[in-house]
């Protein structure tokens, strides 16, 4: 009996899983989507170390250059601040950013006379002369720097590329935390219903159906109102609404394999229910759970973007793709439509990448296709 148990367990959780992942990595489209997600993850982790604007929340506002077109370049005079700036370590700067010791002043031209530098302020039109302002040379970083904004600037003169890059951290974080919460709750509830059956399964299914009947967005909004608006609240709210799919899949998979020979062998060997579920059932249903988690990751990103667009998600000035669309959607009918379109494209590409990965994992973990290839 012990040999039967070992053989069955090794075959399902070892050989088929290895074949499934080999099949996944041979899918070029899925592999490209995985590389894209890994690049986004690297950008999210490095954060302010790779953004052109390293200030906290990428919130360096230069109103004179608001709504600049992609590729716009401006001559910047860097004027030192009088405030004391404490230098932070690399990990602190990576997570929270660091204020710059000077401020950027856009200018059209400048001249130096002794200990004074006189700059003509930027007006947006080279044919219109700007007001002149003088600064002590000791308070200015020379020479002035020409700064290029690859994706332009938003309505407050903030670098759009920096805010898009930092918004990656919000989207991936809410996806990861929401999926983590949904896995803990969904796997636990689904395991109870699928393994013990009877009245336990009836109670579990009643609870699942009640939550399933409530529209997801309305449930997220209700939880957000209860927890309040904020960074962590939206993560918890999204996670608490996504466990239903995981619970249904877990319950169905456990019902399908709980009567298998190797489960009966585990019972005959006197193993406890917790050990049977955690060590001999869950590893064998990891494939479908991974597939549903990939789909939930994409759904979590969309939910967070929707909440931020409604003003219920991450609060300004923290950049979020949904809030960036909300702040700039009025520019769609103007000359700066890219301010709202680019965050939408970022959401679309990220969700598409996770859906491609989810579909590829579903095909890879298809038992029939894997067993046919193995035979």
Confidence at residue 149, expressed as pLDDT on a 0 to 100 scale: 94
Residues 232 and 338 in one domain: yes
316 belongs to a structural domain: yes
Give the mean model confidence (pLDDT) for residues 30-49.
94
The structure tokens 């809410």 sit at: 174
Between 333 and 91, the more confident residue is 91
Residues 171 and 212 in one domain: yes
Confidence at residue 33, expressed as pLDDT on a 0 to 100 scale: 92
Closest CA to 275 of 189, 180, 195, 193: 195
Residues 210 and 84 in one domain: no
Range in 67-71, 131-135, 333-337 with the lowest mean pLDDT: 333-337
The structure tokens 């759904």 sit at: 299
Is the pLDDT score of 371 beyond 80?
no
Domain boundary among 119, 150, 181: 150
| Reported confidence tier of residue 265, pLDDT bands at 50, 70, 90 | confident
Cross-strand pairs, 159: 153
243 belongs to a structural domain: yes
| Reported confidence tier of residue 34, pLDDT bands at 50, 70, 90 | very high
Residues 173 and 279 in one domain: yes
DSSP string, 36-71: HHHHHHHHHHHGGGTSS--SGGG----GGGTTPPTT
Confidence at residue 6, expressed as pLDDT on a 0 to 100 scale: 41
Domain boundary among 99, 126, 150: 150
65 belongs to a structural domain: no
Residues 213 and 329 in one domain: yes
What's the rounded Cα separation, in Å, for the pair 366 and 220? 32
What's the rounded Cα separation, in Å, for the pair 288 and 17? 11
Is the pLDDT score of 124 beyond 80?
no
Is the pLDDT score of 372 beyond 50?
no
Give the mean model confidence (pLDDT) for residues 268-286.
86
pLDDT, one tens digit per residue, over 179-191 is 999 999 999 999 9
52 belongs to a structural domain: no
Between 17 and 290, the more confident residue is 290
Is the pLDDT score of 5 beyond 50?
no
Confidence at residue 367, expressed as pLDDT on a 0 to 100 scale: 54
Predicted structure pTM score:
0.85
User: Which CATH number belongs to the domain containing residue 10 in this structure?
Assistant: 1.10.3720.10
Residues 176 and 279 in one domain: yes
Confidence at residue 4, expressed as pLDDT on a 0 to 100 scale: 41
Is the pLDDT score of 143 beyond 60?
yes
Residues 113 and 215 in one domain: no
Confidence at residue 48, expressed as pLDDT on a 0 to 100 scale: 93
Residues 192 and 97 in one domain: no
pLDDT, one tens digit per residue, over 317-363 is 889 999 999 988 888 887 788 999 999 999 999 999 999 998 888 88
Domain residue limits at 12: 2-42+161-374
283 belongs to a structural domain: yes
- How buried is 20 (Cβ within 10 angstroms: 0-12 exposed, 13-18 middle, 19+ buried)? buried
Strands of the chain, DSSP E = 72-80, 102-113, 116-121, 132-136, 140-149
pLDDT, one tens digit per residue, over 198-236 is 899 999 999 999 888 888 778 888 888 888 777 778 888
Residues 249 and 137 in one domain: no
308 belongs to a structural domain: yes
| Reported confidence tier of residue 138, pLDDT bands at 50, 70, 90 | confident
Residues 203 and 344 in one domain: yes
| Reported confidence tier of residue 3, pLDDT bands at 50, 70, 90 | very low
Confidence at residue 68, expressed as pLDDT on a 0 to 100 scale: 87
3-state SS assignment for residue 143: strand
Residues 168 and 213 in one domain: yes
Confidence at residue 1, expressed as pLDDT on a 0 to 100 scale: 42
What is the residue-averaged pLDDT of the chain? 85
Domain boundary among 150, 177, 202: 150
Number of domains in the chain: 2
List phi, psi (to 5°) of 175: -65, -45
47 belongs to a structural domain: no
Confidence at residue 270, expressed as pLDDT on a 0 to 100 scale: 84
For residue 317, whether the previous peptide bond is cis, meaning omega lies within 30 degrees of 0, is yes
| Reported confidence tier of residue 152, pLDDT bands at 50, 70, 90 | very high
180 belongs to a structural domain: yes
What's the rounded Cα separation, in Å, for the pair 304 and 281? 33
Residues 311 and 365 in one domain: yes
């Amino acid at each position: 009996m012990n040999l039967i148990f070992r053989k069955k367990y090794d075959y399902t959780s070892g050989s088929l899983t290895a074949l499934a992942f080999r099949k996944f990595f041979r899918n070029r489209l899925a592999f490209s989507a995985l590389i894209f997600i890994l690049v986004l993850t690297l950008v999210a982790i490095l954060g302010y170390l790779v953004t052109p604007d390293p200030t906290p929340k990428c919130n360096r506002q230069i109103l004179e250059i608001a709504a600049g077109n992609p590729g716009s370049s401006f001559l910047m005079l860097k004027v030192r601040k009088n405030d004391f700036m404490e230098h932070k370590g690399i990990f602190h700067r990576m997570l929270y950013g660091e204020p710059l010791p000077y401020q950027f002043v856009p200018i059209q031209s400048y001249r130096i006379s002794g200990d004074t530098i006189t700059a003509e302020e930027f007006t947006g039109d080279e044919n219109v002369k700007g007001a002149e302002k003088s600064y002590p040379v000791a308070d200015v970083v020379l020479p002035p720097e020409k700064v290029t904004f690859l994706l332009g600037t938003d309505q407050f003169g903030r670098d759009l590329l920096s805010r898009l890059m930092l918004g990656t951290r919000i989207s991936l974080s809410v996806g990861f935390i929401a999926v983590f919460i949904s896995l803990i709750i969904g796997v636990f509830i689904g395991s109870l219903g699928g393994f013990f059956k009877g009245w336990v399964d009836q109670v579990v299914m009643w609870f699942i159906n009640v939550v399933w009947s409530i529209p997801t967005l309305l449930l997220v909004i209700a939880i957000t109102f209860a927890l309040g608006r904020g960074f962590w609240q939206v993560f918890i709210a999204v996670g608490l609404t996504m466990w239903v799919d995981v619970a249904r899949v877990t319950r169905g998979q456990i019902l399908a394999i709980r009567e298998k020979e190797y489960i009966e062998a585990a019972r005959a060997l006197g193993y406890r229910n917790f050990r049977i579920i955690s060590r001999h059932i869950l590893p064998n249903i990891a494939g479908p759970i991974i597939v549903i988690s990939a789909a939930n990751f994409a759904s979590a990103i969309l939910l967070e973007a929707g909440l931020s667009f409604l003003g219920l998600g991450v609060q300004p000035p923290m950049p979020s793709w949904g809030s960036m669309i909300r702040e700039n959607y009025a520019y769609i009918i103007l000359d700066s439509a890219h301010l709202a379109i680019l965050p939408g494209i970022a959401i679309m590409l990220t969700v598409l990448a996770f859906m491609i990965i989810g579909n590829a994992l579903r095909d890879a973990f298809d038992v029939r296709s894997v067993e046919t290839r193995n035979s």
